[in-house]
Amino acid sequence: IVASHPHRRTSRTPPLCGGASAMRCTAVLVALAAGTPTVLAQRKPRVSPELHVSTLREVAHMHPDEFEPEVHFKLNPHKHERLNTELLELKAAKVARESGSVHKPKRVFRHAGKHEAKHEAAGLHLWYKATVPQEEYTALRGHASVNSVERVLNSTEARPLVEKIETSMKRKLHKSLRSRPAKEKTAEAEAEEKGQDERILAASPPTPEPTSFVMNDPLLSTQTHYMAVNIDQAWEVTAGDPSVIVQVIDSGIDEEHPDLQMNKWSNVDDCDGDGQDSDNNGYIDDCHGYNNADNSVSLEGDGSHGTHCAGTIAADSDNQIGVSGVAGGKNGLPGASLMINTVFGKANTDGFEDALVYGADNGAHISSNSWGYTVADVFPEATEEAIDYAIDAGVLVVFAAGNDGDNGLWYPGAHDPVIAVAAADDSGTAAYFTNYGDWIDITAPGVDVYSTYLLEDGEYGYMSGTSMACPHVSGILALGMSQGTLSMDSSMIMDCLYNTATDIDAVNSEEYHNGALGAGFTEVLSFVQCVKPPTVAPTISPVPTSTPTTSEPTSTFSPTTPAPSDSPTRSPTFNPTESPTTTPDLCFVIHMYDTWGDGWNGADFTWAQSSADSDMLVLQVDTLDDGSYGTDMLCVWWQDSVCYDFTLGSGSYDSEIYWNISHPLTEESWAGGGAPYGPVTLCGSDSMPPTDSPTMSPAPTPATWSPTSSEPTSSCPETCYGETCDFWDGQAGTLDGCDYDGNDLESYFGCYCGGCMCDGNSPTDSPTVSAVPTPAIVGAFTLSMVDSYGDGWNNAYYTWYQTDGLLGTPVVGTLESGSAGEETLIIFDAAACYSFDVSSGSYDYEISWDIADKEGNSLLSCPDGGGCAPGAWEYCPDGTTDAPTPVQPTMSPSETPAQVRLEMFDTYGDGWNGAVLTWALSDGSASQTATFDTGDYASQGLTLFQASACYQVTVSSGSYDYEISWEIQAWESGTPLLSGGAPVTDPLTLCFDMPNPTAAPTPTHEPTPTPTSLP
């Protein structure tokens, strides 16, 4: 069974160029292709690397009515623009106009509130959709959609702005509706069915005959499809649990149905009906889900299909009403929770991508999807990215295979990471309508399935289709996960599902053999037994306290032999007569990063005391549980151990992991790396790394610094080392610096300044501390950092150090993100001069900063307006400063045409209503104005009147300034140089450095652009 599924992808590693993802390697992707594969053993790529518009024309010719009057495109912004919503909307508007759309484009994925950062990391916020002109679509149908794509691809202005563009295709539900009573079986039919059952059993391994749990639902006897796969026997083990959330993306449900009341998922933070997005997830009052199609909280959509699927998964069971659900609960207890997302609405069919992402963002464990595209080999990239986003969030995404009786590639079911479900009757014989092929994962009952209907359609009834097989598998997965296995790796759950399936080749014709129906007919009892955790109670080993003792540990830490416990193995013992050391000498800071944003996925770090022999004391085992960033403290007790080991194990996605350990005050890096890593050893009492430990700091090399040490003047009694000496600066007990409020900085950062007045030398029988003495701190300044764009300093770093290099450690830092931040600059000698160097980053012209004393008096600054990197400045206590000329953004002669481009936008579409932009030389000797009177967009050139000159931009006020935006770009490349709204009363400045341009054409005509681009 496993061997028949070599194509199933088990990791998130993206495929290489070629195969089904060949077009990922092209600049612009059109995610459509035509044709049906003829060989089951080899999957046909859905997109050819040579794909062009003529291929779309062929699809439009064969299936003109299967195109939606809409195109989707993903922007390809410069890094600098990626999170600038205003600029993205401007560029999307340009692409939409070039496609022929007369309407403002909309985002494919709506703004997600608290989840928006995850969407930005995944690039979902870059997807937009534009409408195809209605008259053109009415006349040409699919060809009109292809025309819109072709116009963008042929546009010199729009094409560079898009990474991908595709037509939007129609979707359908995979069902055949039957509204009739339970079918009557003839004696011949029953005998034939009995024979088929016997053949299935003969092909299956023998299993003990279990007992069945009998639900008291009066219509259960009509649900013979449950007994066909032993769901009734699995109910003895579990019948579902509300902690398992199953999303149903379909036509909604009848919210008043009496058999669909107990198992509704509730978004408890937004069930107040106050018309507000109370939980900031991007949706208003989404108590039990959302109607994505009609943008409504009313979950009922078009027809009974979604109600039927939801009932199969988790209709209220064992409640003496109607039918049972696969995971609907028992004994009066609820089953799995149903999260409803309506995409086939009463008025619209839409929101599929948003719905998939909604489930991932709001905690769904399983997503059940009984829909697909109306044409084979069609799979738009926007939908694929939504599915992958959900899968990468840990969601098991289940899709119906489709009802076309075909062995082509029917998406989304044919997408590797999803679970594709084919349909069979109760005997395991493939349904005549089911799609099949080597992309199918599992087969489930899908013929004459009895479940809930809309009340207006009769409350209960039959349906057939792979749409009915899909919720069987979703419910079965919920049964397995209801046994406390939510944390189980999804690959292990899928292995259980596939490895316990029944081989049904014997009851099917040859075309359905060799994996064309996946692993076989799902077998539920064996599956839940496979994923069920062991029932034997684990033996819990004692866990030590977080504070070490002064005694030597007596047992060995063995990370390779974990105890059956939820916590990592830690089994050293302690001498109970010893008192623990309650205050650490120093706590380093570990910064933990995850590029995907879902934590370290099982990679744990260990912080332990080193030892010359095999014994060591584990002080801490932890991880980044969730998110993209977190910190923790790694504390040391020098009198207990002079060396400490850091080790990071392996998790599910090690390539996403980065960490860095730094000193809490100076932020000097000690070590850093990825996963797995170590062990790496820290010895001594300072943050200085040992010679054999790597220093991994992204900062540039600071100025040469040669610290000098001085012998402490006081001596130390023999008993001093056992007391509370800090050893942080080699001068225990001294006041190592105070903040503005007089608080001891050492105590604040976890160091203890009390105890004896001694240096760092310990008695001969104690560990030798090798550390570079740090001079006492006499004061501090405040550095305020500003970035005009709001995305940090983009790899520009500052270095602060005493100019003569005699005292103190250089402090290196940066503004990691955002538009402003502060840092403390330490002063070791009040009479010395200090240097402040700033290295070059990606966007130096955005950078400005100010250094002030504790009263707020500015001592050294590079003012607002940017251009404050790179350079070197110096501050001396006598008030003298030495600073370079601030750097302005420049263009070299070969990169600068005689004009730049001004793009003007109005969101309402009636021009700027009296607002006028003025472009002028800074000395006022020449100027030019720009505006437009109608429409939502206009563009013109702005003349560069002089070489090596600065220009100022102002915008007067009009009637509706809030509708106005503009952007000045490099002529050829479109690189943004300056942007804003209206009014602009304080002039914005843009400077250039070039020789005199040749005579520039008038601003109303486009010049011949120089064939080079701005950096």
Tell me the C-alpha to C-alpha distance, in Å, between residue 888 and each of 81, 882, 966: 20, 19, 21
Three-state DSSP class for 874? strand
Extended strands (E) in 829-870: 834-838, 847-852, 858-862
Strand partners for 586: 636
Helix (H, G, I), strand (E, B) or coil at 264: strand
> Is 250 noted as a catalytic residue in this protein?
yes
Query: Is there a contact between 154 and 72 (Cβ–Cβ < 8 Å)?
Result: no
Helices 142-153 and 85-99 cross at an angle (nearest 10°) of 120
The helix, strand and coil proportions of the chain, stated in percent and rounded to the nearest 5, come to 20, 25, 55
Residue count of the chain: 1015
Q: Calculate ∠ Cα 829-833-839, nearest 5°.
A: 115
467 is catalytic: yes
CA atoms within 13 A on the CB side of 634: 30
CA dihedral in degrees (193, 196, 197, 198; nearest 10)? 130
The end-to-end CA distance of the chain, in Å, is 55
Residues contacting residue 504 through CB under 8 Å, at least 6 positions apart = 200, 203, 424, 428, 429, 430, 443, 517, 520, 521
Q: Which one is catalytic: 174, 305, 365, 415?
A: 305
Half-sphere exposure of 673 (CA within 13 A, CB side): 17
Phi, psi of 693 (to 5 degrees): -105, 140
Q: Please choose, from the candidates 975, 889, 903, the residue with its C-alpha nearest in 3D space to the C-alpha of residue 932.
A: 903
Q: Which residue is catalytic, options 217, 232, 241, 250?
A: 250
CA distance 577 to 679: 31
Of 594, 597, 682, 696, nearest to 646 by C-alpha is: 682
Give me the residue label for tokens 């107990």: 262
- For residues 974 and 86, give the distance between their C-alpha atoms in angstroms, rounded to a whole number: 16
HEC string for 479-509: HHHCCCCCCCCHHHHHHHHHHCCECCHHHCC
Assess contact for 91 and 155: CB atoms under 8 A.
Answer: no
| Cis amide prior to 702 (ω within 30 degrees) | no
Catalytic pick from 467, 474, 641, 839? 467
Task: Please provide residue 290's backbone torsions phi and psi, each rounded to the nearest 5 degrees.
Answer: -160, 150
Decide if 924 contacts 951 (C-beta within 8 A): no
Give the gyration radius of the chain's Cα atoms.
34
H or E element at residue 745: helix 745-748
DSSP notation for 923-951 = TSS-EEEE--SSBSEEEEEEE--SSS-EE
**Which residues face 296 on adjacent strands?**
291
The total of other beta-carbon atoms located within 10 Å of residue 488's CB is 15
Distance CA 920, CA 944 (A): 9
For residue 52, count other CB atoms closer than 10 A to its CB.
11
User: Closest by alpha carbon to 626, among 1012, 363, 809, 440?
Assistant: 363
Closest CA to 988 of 980, 999, 1000, 997: 980
**Which residues participate in catalysis according to the annotation?**
250, 305, 467
